[in-house]
Structure 1
Amino acid sequence: MGYTAGITAQQSISETEKLASLGKIYGFLKYYHPEVAKGEFDWDQQCIAQLPKVLKATDKNALSKVYSDWIQSLGKIKKCRKCDTQEDYFDKNFDLSWTQDPRLFTTELSETLTYIENNRNQKKSFYAAKERVGKIKITNEPNYKNFEYPEEAYRLLGLFKYWNIIEYFYPYKYLTDQNWDAVLIEMIPKIKEAANKEAYQLAIKELIAKLDDAHAWVNFSNQSQKYLPLQLSHLENKAVVSGFYNDSLAKLNKLKLGDVILKVNGKDFAKEAEKNLKYVSGSNTNNKIKRAYIYTLNGSEDQVVLTIEREGKRQQLPVNRYDFRDFEYWNTPQVKSKSFDENVGYINMARLKGEDVEAVFESFENKKAIIIDLRNYPAFIYKRCTRYLNSEKRDFTKIYTPSLGYPSRFQFKKPLQTNSSNKAFKGKIIVLVNESTMSRAEFTAMAFQTADNVVTVGNQTAGADGDVVRFEYLGGFQTAMSGNGVVYPDGTESQRNGVKIDIEVKPTIDGLRAGRDEVLEKALEIAKQ
């Protein structure tokens, strides 16, 4: 009797497992089944209709019958002549082994799912298209209005829709800390049991943070938060003021570089930030901690009281919050290029425009070294610049893009190359990077790292590259993720890791307080060697 009870226990399927199986079947059929991919079914309503049947199923036979009947109702699938492909795929994200799970599905259903995979949709998909650069575009999703806190069935549907977009089209799914299948199992109860709008939206933030992607975010309303005029870094295991969005407003609020934040409105700042870590997206630990700091300081109220440590003493500072536009941050005057002396030139990529490139590089042609500052967000002019850095064309990155003909598999494009010239700069090139080097800046750094005589100085970059895909989470919430996979030509991943660094230099609290730029100081030292 004990043996029989054990077998029965093994075969029982939890409610969460049943819901997870529905989410996976819903997405698989949406992107694989030729009839569903035409868009002729109201696919969301079909999923909602299956929900009570799935929950009512008591074992795998009953559950498999629900799915078999559903698939049967969708029409016959013709044999696919194009599907027996021998293409070379990037397959680190690909895993349909769940379709063969003997605990959840009968052999007959698993064979049906395999047949659909082998005879999958090869025509235009109603639900997904590709942009010119290869990244995915989510198309023709129903418009759900007034769904800030929908009923349970639609909360689950929103989770299923999002989970499957990531499952089939997110290039870095294999790099996430948590297995994506496990994310679905974990988030179903959290989404299902969210008792109000606030709990529901926090659950969505937690879900999106699990992409471990600095490009990922979600916006629940047009009401913008207010910001303090300071920039924070995680230095020496502390939250340190490392810059300002507006010098005048920072001075007005009596803030100084190197201030260490200890409390916010009387609460321990480090503990509050740690609580918020699971709600912020970031590609690496440093990136996440920094974003958790910002998340903890932002808000709708006009003022916060900070307890800071400055030069060994504690003090309280009431600090005003502002609309980010008040900072006029992008209009702040900054140098485009300059000479430190007759031997060393400097280029600030934040301010360099395409029309400036030729004149700036030609003005430096007799220098012994050029320092190129990428601790910012540059214009898309890497190729123009590499004409003055490379004596021959060189591969600097490989890009893989999602396959619509075989979702969750990706295909490499031809490696991207730099420009070149026989007039390329003969001296040292020193590239500066740090935590603010993200996305296009990292892509540009990878190109510059192929220069004839180059060294990269600084600290870990944001680790998010490959364009951005914007789409909607059910309810009209805007969200995003990285859209293409980007690796070095040798296969080294820049996602999460950041770009390669030759000489690591981390700013110090003492250095900030003294007004020093320690990364730039190191670059100047190298330039003069």
Structure 2
Amino acid sequence: MALKSLTVKLVKLLLLSAIISLGSTSILLAQADKRIQRLATLAKIWGEVKFIHPYIAYRSIDWDRALINAIPKVNAARTAEEYSEAINLMLGELKDNQTFSFVKTKISNDGKSASEPEPVKLESGILHLNVLAAAKYTAQSKENLRNFNQKFFSLYEQAKSVLIDSRTGENTDQNILYDIDYNTRNIISEILDSKITLGTIRYRLHNGYPPQDGSTSGGYYSGFTTDAPVGIGKDFAGAPKMLPMVILMDKYSALSPLYCGLQSAGKAIIVSESNDLGTEGHTLEIGEGLMVSLRTAEMVSADGAIGFMPDVLAEKGNAMPAAMKILSDDKFRKPEKKLNASSTPQISQKDNTYAEMEFPNSEYRLLALFRFWNVINYFFPYKQLTGTNWDTVLTKYIPQFEANRNVADYRLSAGKLVAEIHDSHGFFSPPRLKNPPQIFLTPTVEAYAENQTYIRGVLEKSSGFRTGDVVKEVDGIPIDKILENFSVRISASTSQSMMRQVHGYGIFRGEKDSKAVFVVKGLDGKIRKVETVRNVAANDPRFNDFKFSRAAKPVISILSSGFAYVDLDRLQPNQVDSMFKMIMKTPAVIFDMRGYPNGTAWQIAPRLSTKVQPIAALFDNPLIEGKNISDGEFSGATNFTFSQRIPKREHGEVYKGRVVMLIDETAQSQAEHTALFFEAARPDITFIGMPTAGANGDVTNLILPGNIKVSFSGHGVRHADGRQLQRLGIQPTIKVAPSIRGIIQSKDEILDAALKFLKQQH
């Protein structure tokens, strides 16, 4: 019995221990998740300040360093308060008292006065206007609005001075704020004795993302813009002289442009307990009961001064007495205002490449992640086509970048990150390593057709490979797994683009003289094993013998069928006129757009159509304006959109024969744009072949720490009728998939299909 009792107790203890262990593990996992989420939020705050906060445009602030210093503090934060302090460590580098993190407080009605202050009253010759009380009163009915206006102007006739209390506190009721604006603006307009210019705002603007390295045809730019100010008041002589006016403000007060204009024109004295008024900005809830206030614009007064500061900075709780003292002091003189010129010199927005950091430390690796994530978040026009909630990318990759052990790990993580955008313009270009690993290849040239990897060329006949062999596995690894391992690090818009890129990557690479065992299926249908050695250098000149080329064919020719053929991959702009002379009387022309053109579409398309400048493509790109960022958003872009038209035909006849274009996965970007031009010029065009790569839009780029250049499509481009192109490609009218047997026999099955089609039409 004693033994049984002991056994039961032991089992209970073990179960309790297991439960405690599981509980501890759960707590640790929850803490890790919270830390990662905090870093993700830090990244978003850092990114918004980088692209929106006005100070970054003209003050010398090492914003990267601010992030680097904050990351360890966020990691170490045990409480929400410590987390907020870490954020403020970063935001403190701005030296802007309107940009900060704070604990969200609940607005309580406890102790609130039973009665609201009077909207308007006259005491001792001073006309008091409380804008918040007035807005609440006039919002109740039109009759209240009429009564309020009648009372104000009646008392104004009796008053000696005016005191406007414009303090609203944290009132975010948009209807109330609208009524404050409406009431106050109308009153001021009536009592002004001259016309004045109001204050305005200046803010940062980004039309697309200017490249960090080199130039682009996209026309992307960043700027610092000032809205044109407006004027109010009377514009005639003899208006009744305006009474002396004092305006009480807090940092939440609306109508800053109006009050700034009154101050600048010498019509009012501003009193406040805050020394920075009129801040344009917004607030964000970031979880854990925390908020972040971020400046998005700056006030510019009519006299060109930057910022809006009170004439009298009152001590806390002493604003009203200070205002009353001014109105009762006949000797009070408004302090002279120091002018901050609005033409503030801007500084370069080029990022530090940290080229010396081949393998950056953990904080700088996170900087790489945060930099890329924010650029894509704000400026990638195809973000909605990534197939991923972009927010989740941050939390997914933070642990990966932190876990990097060496430069190869870092570059692999960065490559996988770039691949998340699924854009074949997502070029990943790291510099050459100081001690690069020696990579050797098998004596084969790989390609992809019929949804299979096959051997297109053999460098050494004695190797045992035969052209046309379909690869099933290598070193016991199925070919699908090999392709998957390479695909995760390649940014591709479509599956056809992915396979084109992967098979140019040397997918069977390995250490020098290492053995490789292939299982292949020959054209005879038989499975066999081929053993080889990886002893071919990546730059072996024998590979050049297998590069696809149409150089043996003329660029422009009249085929035996009587149809014209034009190779757009090789046609040069100075050959276009002679091309039209040669093909003008042919019944049809085949434009071969397999490859990349030389900017000839702008000359050719006008001569394919009798239409006058039809729309060829629709463009858009993110347009980021500081003034349009809304509360609760980390990015709130509108789009800059425009239509691109085919140029006007300046000379030459219009070709009226049938038009065919040959396409496949090698057609990308300008090649696809050429297809759009020809499609607009000749809606009856016939596309023959396979879908194109599906990546169009003028390329731009950024640089990650370690001097890694990353590119992406900066413009969104669609068909003239709005159909999607990105991630789909130009779709063939007649689909023709080249066969492995046909390719190795040097047959051009797509061209053959085009000739067959045309013969049927004529």
Please name the residue that 1:309 is paired with.
521
Tell me the amino acid that sits aligned with residue 398 of structure 1.
L
Identity %: 26
Please name the residue that 2:730 is paired with.
499
The structure whose RCO (Cα within 8 Å, separation 6+) is larger is: 1
Residue deviations 1:258-292, cap 9 Å, x none? 33223345643322112222112111123224433
1:47 Cα shift? 0.8
User: 2:497, 2:665 within 8 Å by CA — same for their partners in 1?
Assistant: yes
Paired residue secondary structure (1:16): helix
| CA distance in 2 between partners of 1:167 and 1:177 (Å) | 14
Q: 1:99 to 1:439 in 2, by over 3 A?
A: farther
Moved more, 362-371 or 144-153: 144-153
Please name the residue that 1:4 is paired with.
none
Matches within 5 A, 1:327-342: 327=543, 333-335=551-553, 336-341=555-560
RMSD (CA atoms) = 3.6
Of structures 1 and 2, the larger Rg is shown by 2
Residue 646 (structure 2) pairs with residue 417 (structure 1)? yes
1:390 Cα shift? 1.6
Q: 1:146 to 1:240 in 2, by over 3 A?
A: same
Paired residue secondary structure (2:287): coil
Q: 1:42 aligns with which of 59, 62, 72?
A: 62
Moved more, 519-528 or 286-295: 286-295
1:333 Cα shift? 2.8
Please name the residue that 1:239 is paired with.
453
Please name the residue that 1:14 is paired with.
34
Please name the residue that 1:171 is paired with.
381
Please name the residue that 2:671 is paired with.
441
Moved more, 313-322 or 30-39: 313-322
| CA distance in 2 between partners of 1:432 and 1:59 (Å) | 63
Residue 361 (structure 2) pairs with residue 361 (structure 1)? no
Q: 1:383 aligns with which of 590, 594, 602?
A: 602
1:369 Cα shift? 0.8
Please name the residue that 2:277 is paired with.
none
| CA distance in 2 between partners of 1:365 and 1:84 (Å) | 52
Residue 546 (structure 2) pairs with residue 526 (structure 1)? no
Q: 1:106 to 1:13 in 2, by over 3 A?
A: farther
| CA distance in 2 between partners of 1:301 and 1:127 (Å) | 44
Residue deviations 1:388-410, cap 9 Å, x none? 21222211112223435457543
Q: Give the gaps of 5 or more residues in structure 1.
A: 1-8, 88-97, 129-138
Q: 1:80 to 1:71 in 2, by over 3 A?
A: farther
Please name the residue that 2:364 is paired with.
154
| CA distance in 2 between partners of 1:39 and 1:325 (Å) | 53
| CA distance in 2 between partners of 1:67 and 1:519 (Å) | 59
| CA distance in 1 between partners of 2:50 and 2:34 (Å) | 24
Q: 2:47 aligns with which of 14, 27, 52?
A: 27
| CA distance in 2 between partners of 1:390 and 1:20 (Å) | 52
Tell me the amino acid that sits aligned with residue 310 of structure 1.
G
Please name the residue that 1:136 is paired with.
none
1:372 Cα shift? 0.5
Paired residue secondary structure (1:116): strand
| CA distance in 2 between partners of 1:252 and 1:142 (Å) | 52
Please name the residue that 1:468 is paired with.
699
Please name the residue that 1:103 is paired with.
287
Please name the residue that 1:479 is paired with.
710
Q: Give the gaps of 5 or more residues in structure 2.
A: 1-28, 100-198, 208-281, 301-305, 307-341, 627-634
User: 1:171, 1:402 within 8 Å by CA — same for their partners in 2?
Assistant: yes
Please name the residue that 1:6 is paired with.
none
Tell me the amino acid that sits aligned with residue 499 of structure 1.
I
| CA distance in 1 between partners of 2:462 and 2:348 (Å) | 51
| CA distance in 1 between partners of 2:734 and 2:403 (Å) | 49
Residue 646 (structure 2) pairs with residue 428 (structure 1)? no
1:207 Cα shift? 0.6
Residue 508 (structure 2) pairs with residue 508 (structure 1)? no
| CA distance in 1 between partners of 2:477 and 2:33 (Å) | 44
1:168 Cα shift? 1.8
Please name the residue that 2:621 is paired with.
401
**What TM-score results when the alignment is normalised by the length of structure 2?**
0.58
| CA distance in 2 between partners of 1:125 and 1:482 (Å) | 27
Tell me the amino acid that sits aligned with residue 21 of structure 1.
T
Paired residue secondary structure (1:469): strand
| CA distance in 1 between partners of 2:414 and 2:200 (Å) | 38
Q: 1:436 to 1:12 in 2, by over 3 A?
A: closer
Please name the residue that 1:212 is paired with.
422
Tell me the amino acid that sits aligned with residue 522 of structure 1.
A
User: 1:11, 1:60 within 8 Å by CA — same for their partners in 2?
Assistant: no
Please name the residue that 1:276 is paired with.
486
| CA distance in 2 between partners of 1:124 and 1:288 (Å) | 45
Residue deviations 1:208-231, cap 9 Å, x none? 111101111323332697777735
Tell me the amino acid that sits aligned with residue 432 of structure 1.
L
Q: 1:340 to 1:481 in 2, by over 3 A?
A: same
User: 1:11, 1:103 within 8 Å by CA — same for their partners in 2?
Assistant: no
Residue 399 (structure 2) pairs with residue 189 (structure 1)? yes
| CA distance in 2 between partners of 1:13 and 1:316 (Å) | 48
1:166 Cα shift? 1.6
Paired residue secondary structure (1:37): helix
